[in-house]
Amino acid sequence: MPSIIRAKRDESTDSVIKRFKKRMMIDNILTWVKEKEFYKKPSILKKEHNKEIDRRKYRERMERQSLSKKFKKFKKVKPAKMLKPRRFE
């Protein structure tokens, strides 16, 4: 769906251009155009998709590790084994 920006009465061209740029950013039109600028083979698209999934998994794993480090002090600690008393003869 095309983005339509209409100039309001007594609105400067600078503010119209600013609103247009903002609308382009919101609709992600520039990123879409950059992606469609060159043809990408399906194998490359698949590799990029897999890399994105790997990055997401890695980021989630690192977040879990950082959370576990933060809350490590709150974990229950196992009591130490009792030592048998020595017999002195």
Domains of the chain, residue spans: 9-38, 39-70
3-state helix, strand, coil split of the chain in percent (to 5) is 60, 0, 40
The pLDDT assigned to 72 comes to: 63
pLDDT tens across 41-86, in order? 999 999 999 999 999 999 999 888 887 776 665 556 566 666 666 6
Report the predicted TM-score, pTM, of the whole model to 2 decimal places: 0.48
